[in-house]
A and B are shown apart, each in its own frame.
Chain A
C-alpha cells in the first residue's frame, strides 16, 4: 500500500536548523504535488508549504516564508523541508501529504504519520 514516512524531527534550539524528510513508496511520487502541514500540540492543522510535481514551483505560508525551504528528489521519491531559524512557535507535528485532484480541487489523499519538532532551549 501507499506509504509516506517522515523522519528528521526532534528537539532543536531556537535559531537552529533541521531538515525533515518524507520517503514515499508505492505511489506516483514524481507526478504529484506534495505539501507539508503542521499541527501544534492540541491545536488544529496549519498548511505550511507546497511543491509542484517537478519542483519548479514552491509556495509557503507567511508564517514560514524566508525560513523554511521545501524541496524534492524524484529519483529518491523523497520530499524535504529545511527548517532554518527555528522558533518556539514552530513546535508541531509535521506531516507530509500528497495532493489529489489538482491545484484547487481534490484534497490531500495520502498523509505520513508525522514527525514531531520541538523548538526549545
Chain B
C-alpha cells in the first residue's frame, strides 16, 4: 500500500507570495498524481492530474511537477481565494490513496 506524505502540514503565507507544496510517495507512482483544493464546507476540486496537467479553467498560477516519488504543487502568486487545504492523490497502485493535506493559511 502506497502512503502519500504531504509537507508542510500548514503553510502560512501572504497574498502575492509563492506557495510550494510537497507530496512524497512511499514508492514510485510514475506520473499518476492528482492535486485537489478544498475550501471549508465544500467538496474537493481537481486542479492538476497526471502530475503536471492543469484542468481546464484552473488558473495558470497553479502548476504541478514531479515524477516517481516526489511531486510539487506550486502557486506562483497567492490570491485571496487560494487559501484552502490541498490534497494529493494517487491511483497508480492499489488501493487509491490521498495524502494528509496541506493547509495554506493567511499569514
Q: Which residues of A contact B (CB under 8 A)?
A: 35, 37, 44-47, 50, 59, 61-62, 95, 100-101, 103-109, 111-114
CA of A35 to CA of B32, assembled, Å: 17
**17 further A-B pairs in the complex, CB-CB below 8 A; given A107-B49, A113-B42:** A44-B101, A46-B98, A47-B98, A59-B95, A95-B43, A95-B44, A100-B46, A101-B49, A103-B91, A105-B32, A106-B34, A106-B50, A107-B34, A108-B46, A109-B46, A111-B43, A111-B45
Query: What is the interface of chain A mostly: helix, strand, loop, or mixed?
Result: strand
B95–A101 touching, CB < 8 Å: no
B87 in contact (CB, < 8 A): yes
Q: List 29 A-B contacts (CB under 8 A).
A: A37-B44, A44-B87, A44-B98, A44-B99, A44-B100, A45-B36, A45-B38, A45-B44, A45-B87, A45-B89, A45-B98, A45-B101, A46-B98, A47-B98, A61-B95, A95-B44, A100-B49, A101-B49, A104-B32, A105-B50, A107-B36, A107-B46, A108-B36, A108-B46, A109-B46, A111-B43, A111-B45, A113-B42, A114-B43
Chain B interface size, under 10 / 10 to 19 / 20 to 34 / 35 or more: 20 to 34
Q: Mark B2-18, 1 if CB is under 8 A from A, else 0.
A: 00000000000000000
Contact indicator per residue, chain B 73-107, by CB within 8 Å of chain A (1) or not (0)? 00000000000000101011011111111000000
Flag if A47 contacts B96 (CB, 8 Å). yes
CB-based nearest A residue for B1: A62
Q: Which residues of A contact B36 (CB under 8 A)?
A: 45, 107-108
CA distance A105 to B96 in the complex (A): 11
In the complex, what distance in Å separates the CA atom of A111 from the CA atom of B49? 15
**Across the interface, which residues of A come within 8 angstroms of B97, CB to CB?**
47
Task: State in angstroms the CA–CA spacing of A61 and B32 once bound together.
Answer: 19
Q: How far is the CA of A109 from the CA of B101 in the complex (A)?
A: 18
Contacts A44-B87, A106-B34: A62 and B95 contacting too (C-beta < 8 A)? yes
